[in-house]
Each structure stands twice: as C-alpha cells, then as structure tokens.
Chains A and B, each alone.
Chain A
Amino acid sequence: MSRKKGQEKIFEIKWKTDLPYRYSIGKLAVKFFEELKKNKKIYGSKCPKCGKVNFPPRAVCADCFVEMTLSDMVELPPKGTLEGFTVVNYPFVDPQTGGMRPFPYGYALLKLDGADTYTMHFVNETDYTKLKVGQRVEAVFKEEREGNMGDIPYFKVIKEEE
C-alpha cells in the first residue's frame, strides 16, 4: 500500500501465505499439457459439428453446445498472429506468486494458425511501437518442461518471408 504525501507513516504488517487448492482442468487440457511436456506440441479441440477449432482446447463448443472428446483434439502449429497487443506498464501484486508482477511486459490477444478462437499470452517485446495488429509470432518452448503454461513462457515476434 502506498503512502501519499502528507500522510503520516502507517503501521504495517506484511506476510505471504500459501493458498493451495485443487482445480479440475478436464481431460482435454490434461492431453494438452501431456503433449506440451513430452512432445513440445500444441493441441486444440475441434467441434465435430461446426468444425470450429478452439485454442485453448475446451470440452464443449460454445456455439453448438456439442461435447468434444480426446478424439476431437487436433495439433496446431506453434505460429500465430497478434489480434491485439499492449505493453503492461504498471505495478500490481500477482496473485500467482504473492509478489509484484515484473513489468513492463508485452501482453497480447493472439490466434494460432488454424485456430478460430483467441488466447492471451506474453510477447517478448516491450516497445509498443514495434508491435502491430497482424504481427506474426511463434511459441517459445522451455527445454525442461513441467506440464504447465510456463512451458511456453512467451511468444516471440518473428519475421517471415512473404
């Protein structure tokens, strides 16, 4: 908590605490993380009725309400396009860690090639003048993967031959 000019110093008690809880991610996400960890592959889910390809994979088509199963999962390339971007340049406590989220950082809404839905992720560019809508990006994989989203720490900006 910040102290404003003219305010007297306040008495503070600071602590960090673990808040563990279980969250069921579903069968499709389990397959996604297994493939990510073992094979560096990205899987989405394709609606068997309308053909919409979802990334992140989801178990029910938001348009048709049709359930998707493991056999509806499709591999997607690690490349995609920025639909929107920003450079986050303000301080806040990250509930994932209990500490401050490092900033500035590139943050984007992107679509993988072959996917019909968007995802949000980090981008390795903190100069907003160097980003544009339509910018091509590619997933960067960690060498030692653990089966979580940290295995793709960010998407990197790429240039491609026309």
Chain B
Amino acid sequence: MDHFEGINFSEMWCGIESAPGYLKPVVKVATGGTTGSSLAICGYYNVASGIYKNILVIGWEKLNEGGATTGIITAFDPVWERPSLAGALGPLALMAGMYSAKYGITPEQAAKVTVKNRSNAANNPFAHLQMPNITIDYVMSSQMISYPLRLHDVCPQSEGACAIIYANEEETKKITDNPAWVKSVATSHYYTFGTDDKMYDLPTATMASKKVYKKAGIKDPIRDLDVAEIYEPTSWSELAWTEALGFAEPGQGGKLLDEGITQMSGELPVNPSGGVLSTNPIGATALVRVAEAAIQVMGRGEKRQIPDVETALAMGFGGSLWTELLILGKEKLR
C-alpha cells in the first residue's frame, strides 16, 4: 500500500507490465487493513455484475520499506488522535486490557491463541513465522511491548503477495471443476473518532456478520460454517472477535478456545492457515483470509485441510474499525 511504504505506484513492485495486467484495465483499491477483503469484494462485484468474465485480484505488501505504524498514524485525526496514537498496536493494547478487565480473560488464554495459530502455521508452507514447537510459556515470557500485549501476542510484519482469480460461471468451467463460489459479502462501518469504539465488542463485525449470514442462510455459525479465517492482529483480538462474529456470547471467547471448538479438530476451526498472527503482509493479509477460505472449500489445503468443508467465512478488519466478510461455499447460492 502506498500509504505504508510512503511511495506512489507501489503496484509496480508486482510487475504489472509483465503480469497479466499488461494493456488491460487496472483498478487499484487500498483501504488499510481491509485492503485484501475490499479487493476480494470488488473482484466479486466486477465479475458478478457481468462487466468482466475473468479477473485477477492481487494484494501485496513490502513492509521492509516504509513504516506501517507511521503510516497508520497519519490516517487518524490530526488534532485529537495523532499526538498520542501509536499506530495499530496502541489501540489494540487498550482493547485487550479493557476486554480482560471486563470479562476476566487471562493472558494465558490469549497465549493459547498464538500457540494454536502458529502451530497451524507449521502446516502451511506459505506462512511467514514457522514456530512448530511454540509453547504458552514461550509466548507469556516474551517481551512486553504494550501492556498487556507481549511480542508473541501480536502479528509480525511480513512481505508477501496473494492472488485470486474470479471468473463467471461459464469461464469457471474452463478453469476448474472444483471452484469455490462466493455466497455473500458484507461491509460495515461505524466510526467518527477512533475512541467511539472500544474494539473488543467490534460492532462492525456484528453488523457485517448478521448481513452476511442472512444472505447465505446461516442461522448458527458454529453449526453452519465449517471453517473460518478471521483477521486477528493480536491473540486477544481472536478471542474477542469470535464473540463479535456470533461464535460465542460476549465474554465467552476464551471458553470457546478452551473447549477446543476453534482448534483444527474442533467444530469450527479458526485460522488453520496460522492466521494474521503468523503472516501479515498488510495489503495482502485480508486477501489471504479469502484465499485460504477458498483453498479449504476446494479441498486444496494439504496438511492444513479441514475435512469436508462446504462453507467457509473470511474476515477483513481495518484501521477505521470496519469489518468486511465473505462467505464461500462448495455449492452456488440458489
């Protein structure tokens, strides 16, 4: 994203001239953390509307050049917010502390999220952090970088890219006999100042999930979804936002994890890819959620594959505390 790398035309890094974009219409979409899910939703609209038959959607990030924290601060209110704002992690730390104080969620429960997701990442050759032997003690003894967030409670900065082909029904037949179909998409906003939202109850995730479940005919997400790739910039976010998405009652995200429901073998595995806690090339991160959801639906997840996935949820979360969701399925929406 130009905003984070501090330059214009960052798409040139993707080699648009040599990539299939040469002499074709190119549209650039950048919405912060949600960039990947915005790309995914725009890709869907472009093909589902009938304007294009086949398109390639690419998300990428090259964080070694530039600074995401600095870039994020510039996106916030210059008078009221920029002076004290510390990028994304400061507010995510506030959120974790408030969530913990309100519901008694413990640092150990948060550490379990990191252990789950990074253990999953060890089954994913595309994941950035490969830490197959990670333990709760290791996470809980890592450096405190913004109380209560320790180094391993937060996502890394990654470099990477992700691409998805969207095609209409006729074109899809030429490509594969085993596609993932987009069943529903939703975007929700709710924000004037960053301080309007305490984030642990992320209202936009609740609003977007109600819309996306209704359109896809999902009544009980734990029962009706087979896998979820959610956007968890911190371990605490996964606990809180599984609640916001309706997987558990408010304050029960820790219990959901403790009961094993979100583990690989659980009723609704969350982030078999390793999630954002293992890989975070920001402009690609939310697109990776969608790609991983599609991989699960198509049964191409190899060591990270959940058996018999019919329906998958993918989530994007962005700096203005908005949420984007997509539901993908094996069957077309009738």
Residues of A within 8 A of B (CB): 1, 23, 25, 29, 56, 58, 62, 83-90, 92-96, 101, 105, 107-109, 117-122, 128, 132-133, 148-150
A1 touches B64 (CB 8 A): yes
Set A23, A83, A86, A92: member contacting B87, Cβ < 8 A: A92
With A23-B78, A95-B74, A117-B195 already in contact, the answer to whether A84 and B84 are too (CB < 8 A) is no
B240 at the interface (CB under 8 A from A): no
B83 at the interface (CB under 8 A from A): yes
Nearest A residue (CB) for B145:
A90
Chain B 84-119 interface mask (CB, 8 Å, partner A; 1/0): 111101110111011001000000000000000000
Set A23, A85, A109: member contacting B198, Cβ < 8 A: A109
Set B71, B147, B194, B196: member contacting A87, Cβ < 8 A: B147
B79 touches A90 (CB 8 A): no
B146 touches A119 (CB 8 A): no
Residues of B within 8 A of A (CB): 64-65, 67, 69-71, 73-74, 78-87, 89-91, 93-95, 97-98, 101, 144-149, 192-196, 198
A92 touches B69 (CB 8 A): yes
B70 touches A92 (CB 8 A): yes
- Measured between beta carbons, the chain A residues less than 8 angstroms from B95 are 84
B98 touches A94 (CB 8 A): no
B86 touches A62 (CB 8 A): no
B193 touches A108 (CB 8 A): no
Q: Could you show 15 A-B contacts with beta carbons less than 8 Å apart?
A: A62-B192, A84-B101, A87-B147, A92-B67, A92-B69, A93-B70, A94-B73, A95-B71, A118-B196, A118-B198, A119-B195, A120-B81, A120-B94, A132-B101, A133-B97
With A95-B82, A107-B90 already in contact, the answer to whether A86 and B147 are too (CB < 8 A) is yes
With A89-B145, A93-B70, A108-B94 already in contact, the answer to whether A84 and B83 are too (CB < 8 A) is no
Expressed in whole angstroms, the Cα–Cα distance for A4 and B73 within the complex equals: 25
Expressed in whole angstroms, the Cα–Cα distance for A90 and B86 within the complex equals: 9
With A94-B73, A107-B94, A119-B195 already in contact, the answer to whether A88 and B79 are too (CB < 8 A) is no
Expressed in whole angstroms, the Cα–Cα distance for A94 and B67 within the complex equals: 10
B146 touches A87 (CB 8 A): yes
- Measured between beta carbons, the chain A residues less than 8 angstroms from B81 are 120
Nearest A residue (CB) for B195:
A118
Set B83, B93, B98: member contacting A96, Cβ < 8 A: B83
Chain B nearest Cβ from A144, distance in angstroms: 18
B74 touches A109 (CB 8 A): no
With A96-B82, A96-B83 already in contact, the answer to whether A109 and B94 are too (CB < 8 A) is yes
A83 touches B198 (CB 8 A): yes
Expressed in whole angstroms, the Cα–Cα distance for A58 and B145 within the complex equals: 33
Nearest A residue (CB) for B102:
A133
A89 touches B144 (CB 8 A): yes
Given A84-B94, A120-B85, A132-B101: 4 more A-B contacts, CB < 8 Å: A58-B193, A96-B82, A122-B83, A128-B144
A85 touches B80 (CB 8 A): no
A29 touches B146 (CB 8 A): no
B146 touches A86 (CB 8 A): yes
Nearest A residue (CB) for B92:
A86
Expressed in whole angstroms, the Cα–Cα distance for A86 and B84 within the complex equals: 12
- Measured between beta carbons, the chain B residues less than 8 angstroms from A149 are 79-80, 83
Chain A nearest Cβ from B187, distance in angstroms: 19
Expressed in whole angstroms, the Cα–Cα distance for A122 and B94 within the complex equals: 13
Chain B nearest Cβ from A68, distance in angstroms: 13
Expressed in whole angstroms, the Cα–Cα distance for A96 and B83 within the complex equals: 7
- Measured between beta carbons, the chain B residues less than 8 angstroms from A58 are 192-193
A86 touches B97 (CB 8 A): yes
- Measured between beta carbons, the chain A residues less than 8 angstroms from B85 are 120
- Measured between beta carbons, the chain A residues less than 8 angstroms from B84 are 105, 107, 120-122
